[in-house]
Amino acid sequence: MSVVTVAVLLGIIVLLLLRSRQVRGEIAVVCILFGLVLGATPAGPAVRQFLEFIGNWIWNLLQSW
């Protein structure tokens, strides 16, 4: 659930940046592809653990409200 939380939040941020025209669509696609490729490298498990930690922290904050 925590990685999903981070993915949803990052997706919302990308959409907001696209709508406010601060980021072009091509740049957003390149960033998404970079994330997918990074996840497939040996650094992928460390990135996933970091995202899981951040996601758990955000989820705990939301539940404490």
Diameter over CA atoms, the chain: 38
Number of domains in the chain: 1
Q: Please state the pTM of the whole predicted model.
A: 0.59
The model's pLDDT over 18-32, given as tens digits with 9 standing for 90+, comes to 889 887 888 888 888
Instruction: Report pLDDT digits (tens) over 9-61.
Output: 777 888 888 889 887 888 888 888 888 777 888 888 888 898 889 888 988 99
CA distance 13 to 17: 6
What is the span of the domain harbouring residue 41?
2-64
Torsion sign (Cα): 8, 12, 42, 30: positive
How far is C-alpha 29 from the geometric centre of its chain's CA atoms? 13
